């Protein structure tokens, strides 16, 4: 009986081993088929870049191809529609990005100054069937800001990608400050269609230059990072301001760099700075500023420059009054964001002018405007300072030389000076002409005769004189 069970068990084990061998063979066959199927799809690559960079999408062209005339590049944003960007080796001019596309000698596709709209799937077709297709997934990282509310504003870091890749993993975004310290984000790794994003709310600090870094992490590796930089500049009217762009080193030209401008936070849309604007070799914007130039400027590379301008001007210029009012104004992106007592008046000794004193009366500060009434005949010097964060950011002076040349009072004073000069010249000319009309005296011939104690003067002309000496 035991031998019978043993024989049955051995047969069962043999059958099990055979079935295991068959399953293994099936698995091997399935793996081979999968690998062959993957081979028919060609290779694929995932690229990560920041907005504004130039990218190269490799074609992985077979060495048997010597020209790009049979190369096509297709683009799909979400898998629902596909557009041809390059056909038979030539850029399709109807493409929305045609002006930024070109192919190199290896048939790789070059896209200049990428934007979020360039993210998606690019397929390189070699023209010899699907087995040679090559897939490139372009991911673009951007940072944008929202206008502040109650002193706070929100930064949003977005990874734009092909719509069918699914959501981003949790904790795939990391925020850092300028010291490299990790910051806790308000919203982490949400997905909405083609975009994964993370938001960070920070306090608006116009007294400092700030920098925040957003990193996208996948597979324990930082795939791409982008920086948000806020620069605050303070100038007087007529100064030359240089607005930094922080252009990435991978960008080789300023020809594709564009600057945008918003005068204040009430504007719904940024205006583009004309291409004719002056740029230096690192794409910084150069402006000879006036009050109209104050506002927020943005270089494409996530650099926001807040240009503030301080100016002193007479509020009134009535020559019949001995006093007039000086107005100190700070023009900026957020016109109502000046703290109380941030505009200070001081005299030539550096003493702060408050209330009423000798030759002045402080009128107070409303938002970003402060007023000081001074005596017209005063030869003193008055200085207005903008102070923020216990630091003097900018100052302007009104001195004894009189009001600024552009003021109405200056025009009146200049007119009076010119009138006085003309009057003096006229009087001088009149005196000279009057003297020229007088008759010259005739020549006097004097003969002297001495007779005892008397000297006689005799004029041959009309007059004679005599003098007695005692």
Note the pLDDT tens digit of each residue in 18-33. 445 544 443 333 333 3
User: Using an 8 Å Cβ cutoff, are 330 and 308 in contact?
Assistant: yes
175-178, long-range: CB within 8 Å, 24+ apart, which pairs? 175/200, 175/212, 175/213, 175/214, 175/215, 176/212, 176/213, 176/215, 177/211, 177/212, 177/213, 178/210, 178/211, 178/212
Average pLDDT over residues 140-151: 74
- Segment 70-88, tens digit of pLDDT: 899 999 998 889 999 999 9
pLDDT, residue 364, reads: 94
Per-residue pLDDT tens digits for 281-310: 888 999 998 888 999 998 877 788 999 999
Please report which confidence band the pLDDT of residue 213 belongs to, taking 50, 70 and 90 as the band edges: very high
442, pLDDT greater than 70: no
What integer best gives the mean pLDDT of the chain? 77
Strand (E) or helix (H) holding 319: none
Contacts of 79 (CB under 8 A, 6+ apart): 121, 162, 163, 164
- In this prediction, residue 159 carries a pLDDT of 95
Per-residue pLDDT for 355 more than 80?
A: yes
pLDDT, position 418: 64
* Residue 353 near residue 346, CB atoms below 8 Å: yes
Residue 463 pLDDT level (bands cut at 50, 70, 90): very low
Predicted local confidence at residue 233, as pLDDT: 93
Cα-to-chain-centroid distance, residue 181: 26
Query: Would you state the pLDDT for residue 147?
Result: 57
- Reported as a single tens digit per residue, the pLDDT across 30-62 is 333 333 333 334 578 999 999 888 899 998 765
Query: Span 403-414, mean pLDDT?
Result: 46
The residue ranking higher by pLDDT, 439 or 378, is: 378
What is the DSSP secondary structure assignment for residue 237, as one 8-state letter? T
Q: What pLDDT score was predicted for residue 170?
A: 83
331 SS3 class: strand
- Model pTM score: 0.62
Q: Is the per-residue pLDDT at 209 higher than 70?
A: yes
Report whether 73 contacts 118 (CB < 8 A).
no
Which of the given ranges, 127-136, 214-223, 249-258, has the highest pLDDT on average?
214-223
């Amino acid at each position: 009986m035991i031998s019978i069970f043993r024989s049955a068990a051995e047969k069962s084990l043999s059958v099990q081993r055979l079935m295991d061998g068959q399953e293994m063979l099936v698995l091997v066959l399935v793996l081979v088929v999968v690998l062959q199927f993957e081979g028919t799809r060609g290779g694929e690559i995932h690229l990560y870049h920041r907005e504004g960079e130039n990218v190269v999408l490799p074609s992985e062209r077979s060495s048997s191809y010597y020209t790009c005339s049979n190369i096509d590049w297709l683009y799909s944003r979400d898998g629902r529609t596909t557009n041809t960007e390059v056909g038979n080796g030539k850029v399709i001019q109807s493409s929305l990005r045609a002006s930024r596309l070109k192919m190199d000698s290896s048939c790789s596709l070059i896209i200049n100054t990428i934007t979020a709209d360039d993210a998606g799937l690019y397929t390189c077709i070699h023209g010899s069937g699907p087995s040679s297709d090559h897939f490139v997934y372009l991911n673009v990282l951007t940072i944008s800001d929202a206008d502040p509310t109650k002193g706070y504003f929100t930064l949003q870091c977005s990874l734009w990608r092909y719509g069918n890749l699914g959501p981003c993993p949790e904790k795939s975004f990391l925020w850092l400050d300028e010291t490299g310290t990790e910051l806790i984000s308000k919203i982490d790794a949400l997905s909405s269609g083609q975009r994964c994003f993370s938001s960070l709310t920070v306090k608006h600090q116009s007294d400092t230059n700030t920098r925040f870094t957003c990193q996208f992490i996948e597979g324990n590796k930082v795939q791409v990072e982008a920086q948000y930089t806020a620069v605050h500049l303070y100038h007087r009217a007529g100064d030359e301001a240089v607005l930094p762009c922080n252009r990435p080193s991978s960008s080789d030209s300023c020809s594709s760099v564009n600057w945008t401008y918003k005068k204040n936070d009430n504007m719904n849309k940024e205006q583009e700075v004309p291409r004719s604007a002056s740029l230096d070799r690192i794409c910084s914007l150069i402006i000879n500023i006036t009050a109209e130039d104050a506002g927020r400027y943005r270089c494409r590379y996530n650099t926001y420059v807040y240009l503030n301008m301080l100016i002193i001007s007479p509020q009134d210029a009535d020559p019949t009054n001995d006093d007039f009012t000086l107005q100190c104004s700070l023009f900026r992106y957020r016109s109502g964001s000046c703290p109380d007592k941030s505009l200070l008046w001081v005299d030539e000794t550096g003493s702060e002018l408050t209330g009423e004193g000798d030759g002045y009366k402080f009128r107070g500060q409303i938002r970003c405007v402060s007023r000081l009434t001074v005596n017209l005949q005063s030869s003193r010097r008055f200085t207005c300072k903008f102070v923020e964060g216990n630091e003097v950011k900018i100052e302007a002076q009104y001195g004894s030389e009189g009001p600024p040349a552009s003021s109405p009072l200056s025009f009146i004073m200049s007119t009076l000076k010119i009138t006085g000069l003309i009057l003096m010249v006229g009087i001088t000319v009149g005196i000279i002409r009057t003297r020229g009309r007088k008759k010259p005296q005739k020549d006097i011939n004097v003969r002297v005769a001495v007779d005892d104690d008397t000297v006689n003067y005799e004029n041959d002309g009309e007059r004679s004189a005599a003098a007695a000496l005692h």
